[in-house]
Amino acid sequence: MSVANTSIGTSHLTGIVPATGDSVARSLPDKTLLEWLRMMVLIREFEVRTMQAYQDRKIGGFCHVYIGQEAVAVGCTASVEHPDPIVTAYRDHGHALARGMDPKYCMAEMFGRIGGCAKGKGGSMHMFDRDNNLFGGHGIVGAQTPLGAGLAFGTKYIDEVINEGTSQRVTLCFLGDGALNQGALHEAMNLAGLMKLPVIFIVENNGYSMGTSINRGTTMADEITAKAKAYGMLSAQIDGMDILNVYDGMKAVVDQVRSTPCPAFVDMRTYRFKGHSMSDPRKYRPREEEQSYETDDPIAKLRDYLFSQKLFDEDRFKAMSKEIRGEVRASIKWAEASPPPDVMEELYKDVYVEEWGPYNGTSEPEMLTDGDQRKEEG
């Protein structure tokens, strides 16, 4: 397989402590590695059930599953602290679960039910969880990248200016390789570089955007970290199919970004095993390529490592998988039992315009037709 191992310490990378031969991940407590495995299996099972529910027309709209990329969300999330903000694109179920969202809220959101994390108003692409510092779930390619810079600006401002201390937080901003040529990303990276914002732009580089391979649509496709150099950023390329590598690579980057503070850019090499969305016939990539990546399954890799270290065995793995299947089934039951939102009740809630009152069908919204207010404003 062509995915490179973690490589930090390349010529365009300055300031980052180069990865040593010792793996930090391998020295973590057994319990932590087992939790990672459990979370990856949970995401996989959740996504398999999501696909079924979509085919059964229980889920509507766009839906993109994360199968194959589990090591990225789980390993990256493990490399930061819970108060560190996370923002991502539309392939977001894995990030939500890895960040601690209860699967039932995630499933109910996709079912369009009031029990969903966004009251069923957002759907698959809009997983939000304020308590777990997850700021979406965004459907517009690249739209989350200025938000990532903004979140980092926010935490830095609070820590340094309001609290007169030192910057504490690191923001993880995930994006797909398809977002690499969006103007918004380059504006965000420029500002992050100028303002030394503690944000890590993690490109989940699965080699394809909707139906186009990265080599067809992006310059320097084999070395996208070169783009970071233009913005004075640290960068790293990490093998995203192996969670131990993900954690080791990310931990070094996160530590550097937190202590400096400064922005960074990560080329996270990964692969999505399924189509772009539920309706993708995958005609743009050869089956042999898919099969070769499937033999590099991130879940099997960690499971086999744990087996080899005698930290886990086949029976316990089976028991864990069974328990997870039950948990995901319960999330579907819970989602089905949750009613859809009351449209009239919910339509004007959770929107910025709420405080101005509803739109009454005039050509201008109510607040702009209020004569008194206009007078006051002169």
Ligand X SMILES: Cc1ncc(C[n+]2csc(CCOP(=O)(O)OP(=O)(O)O)c2C)c(N)n1
**Looking only at residues 188 through 207 of this chain, which bind ligand X when binding is defined by CB under 6 A?**
206
Structure tokens at 314: 């086949």
Tokens 């995401």 — which residue?
43
Confirm or reject binding of residue 289 to ligand X (CB under 6 A).
no
Would you state the torsion angle of the CA atoms of residues 30, 9, 40, 276, taken in this order, to the nearest 10 degrees? -170
**Looking only at residues 262 through 281 of this chain, which bind ligand X when binding is defined by CB under 6 A?**
276
Nearest to 279 by CA among 130, 124, 167, 162: 124
- Report the C-alpha gap between 250 and 6 in whole angstroms: 9
In the complex, minimum distance from the CB of residue 88 to ligand X, in angstroms, rounded to a whole number: 10
Burial of 164 (0-12, 13-18, 19+ CB in 10 A): exposed
N residues, the chain: 378
Q: What string of DSSP letters covers 18-84?
A: PP-SS-TGGGS-HHHHHHHHHHHHHHHHHHHHHHHHHHTTSS-S-----TT-HHHHHHHHHTS-TTS
Confirm or reject binding of residue 331 to ligand X (CB under 6 A).
no
Q: Residue 139 binds which one of ligand X, Mg ion, none, with CB within 5 to 8 A depending on kind?
A: ligand X
Confirm or reject binding of residue 63 to ligand X (CB under 6 A).
no
Q: Residue 91 binds which one of ligand X, Mg ion, none, with CB within 5 to 8 A depending on kind?
A: ligand X
In the complex, minimum distance from the CB of residue 93 to ligand X, in angstroms, rounded to a whole number: 12
Confirm or reject binding of residue 177 to ligand X (CB under 6 A).
yes
Confirm or reject binding of residue 117 to ligand X (CB under 6 A).
no
In the complex, minimum distance from the CB of residue 31 to ligand X, in angstroms, rounded to a whole number: 31
- Report the C-alpha gap between 5 and 173 in whole angstroms: 21
The residue of the chain with the least Cβ separation from Mg ion equals 176
Give the x-and-dash track for 154-193 against Mg ion (CB under 5 A): ----------------------xxx---------------
Confirm or reject binding of residue 218 to ligand X (CB under 6 A).
no
Which residues face 203 on adjacent strands?
A: 175, 267
Nearer to ligand X, 84 or 92 (CB): 92
Confirm or reject binding of residue 137 to ligand X (CB under 6 A).
no
Confirm or reject binding of residue 123 to Mg ion (CB under 5 A).
no
Confirm or reject binding of residue 209 to ligand X (CB under 6 A).
yes
- Report the C-alpha gap between 346 and 353 in whole angstroms: 13
Among 4, 17, 140, 337, binds ligand X (CB under 6 A): 140
Interface with ligand X by CB under 6 A: which residues? 91, 139-141, 176-179, 206, 208-210, 276
Interface with Mg ion by CB under 5 A: which residues? 176-178, 206
